[in-house]
Structure 1
Amino acid sequence: MDVRQITQVSEFLGGFVRKLMYGILSEAAIPDHIAFIMDGNRRYSKKHNLIDGAGYRVGFLTLMSMLRYCYEMGVKYVTVYAFSIDNFKRNPEEVQSLMELMEEKLERLINDEIIVSQYGIRVRFIGNLKLLSKPVRLAAERAMDATSKNNKVVLSICVAYTSTDEILHAVQESCDEKWRKIGDPDEAFVKFGMLDVERHMYMRFVPDPDIIIRTAGETRLSNFLLWQSSNCLLYSPSVLWPEIGFQHLVRAVFDFQKHFYYLKKQKQAYMKYSR
Structure 2
Amino acid sequence: MALESKLKDNSTRMNKLYRFGMGLDMKNNSDGLVSRLFGNLVSSMRKFLFRILSVGPIPNHLAFILDGNRRYAKKWNLQEETGYKCGFWALMPMLKYCYELGVTYVTIYAFSIDNFKRGPKEVQCLMGLMQEKIEGLLEEESIVHQFGVRVHFIGNLKLLPESVKVGAEKVMKATANNNKKVLLICVAYTSTDEIVHAAQESCQRKWDEIREMKPGGGAHSFEISNESQEEEERRFIKLVDLEQCIYMGVAPDPDILFRTAGETRLSNFLLWQTPTCLLYSPGVLFPEIGLRHLVWAVLNFQRAYSYVEKKKKQL
User: TM-score band (shorter)?
Assistant: over 0.9
Alpha-carbon deviations, 1:127-178, whole Å to 9, x = none? Answer: 0000000010011111111211111110000000000000000011101111
CA distance, structure 1, for counterparts of residue 260 and residue 33 of structure 2: 33
- The equivalent of 2:23 in structure 1 is none
- Aligned partner (choices 227, 236, 239) of residue 191 of structure 1: 236
Residues 1:149 and 2:177 aligned together? yes
Using the TM superposition, give the Cα deviation of residue 13 of structure 1 relative to its aligned residue in structure 2, in angstroms: 2.8
Q: Secondary structure at the match of 2:167?
A: helix
CA distance, structure 2, for counterparts of residue 26 and residue 196 of structure 1: 36
CA distance, structure 1, for counterparts of residue 51 and residue 124 of structure 2: 44
Residues 1:166 and 2:194 aligned together? yes
Using the TM superposition, give the Cα deviation of residue 17 of structure 1 relative to its aligned residue in structure 2, in angstroms: 2.0
- Aligned partner (choices 244, 248, 251) of residue 296 of structure 2: 251
CA distance, structure 1, for counterparts of residue 234 and residue 144 of structure 2: 44
- The equivalent of 2:21 in structure 1 is none
CA distance, structure 2, for counterparts of residue 161 and residue 169 of structure 1: 11
- Aligned partner (choices 49, 58, 61) of residue 30 of structure 1: 58
CA distance, structure 2, for counterparts of residue 10 and residue 224 of structure 1: 39
Which structure: larger Rg? 2
Using the TM superposition, give the Cα deviation of residue 9 of structure 1 relative to its aligned residue in structure 2, in angstroms: 3.8
Equivalences for residues 111-126 of structure 1 within 5 A: 111-126=139-154
Using the TM superposition, give the Cα deviation of residue 82 of structure 1 relative to its aligned residue in structure 2, in angstroms: 0.2
Contact 1:30 1:74 in 2 (8 A): yes
Equivalences for residues 78-227 of structure 1 within 5 A: 78-183=106-211, 187=232, 191-227=236-272
Alpha-carbon deviations, 1:216-241, whole Å to 9, x = none? Answer: 00000100000000011100000011
CA distance, structure 2, for counterparts of residue 38 and residue 188 of structure 1: 43
Contact 1:38 1:80 in 2 (8 A): yes
Residues 1:235 and 2:285 aligned together? no
Contact 1:127 1:161 in 2 (8 A): yes
Instruction: For structure 1, list consecutive stretches of 5 or more residues without a partner in the other structure.
Output: 271-275
Contact 2:206 2:235 in 1 (8 A): no
TM-score normalised by L of structure 2: 0.82
Amino acid at match of 2:46: R
Contact 2:262 2:282 in 1 (8 A): yes
Percent sequence identity is 57
Using the TM superposition, give the Cα deviation of residue 114 of structure 1 relative to its aligned residue in structure 2, in angstroms: 4.1
Instruction: For structure 2, list consecutive stretches of 5 or more residues without a partner in the other structure.
Output: 1-29, 212-218, 225-231
- The equivalent of 1:7 in structure 2 is 35
Using the TM superposition, give the Cα deviation of residue 268 of structure 1 relative to its aligned residue in structure 2, in angstroms: 1.8
- The equivalent of 2:227 in structure 1 is none
Amino acid at match of 1:237: P
Contact 1:123 1:156 in 2 (8 A): yes
Using the TM superposition, give the Cα deviation of residue 117 of structure 1 relative to its aligned residue in structure 2, in angstroms: 2.4
TM-score normalised by L of structure 1: 0.93
Amino acid at match of 2:294: L
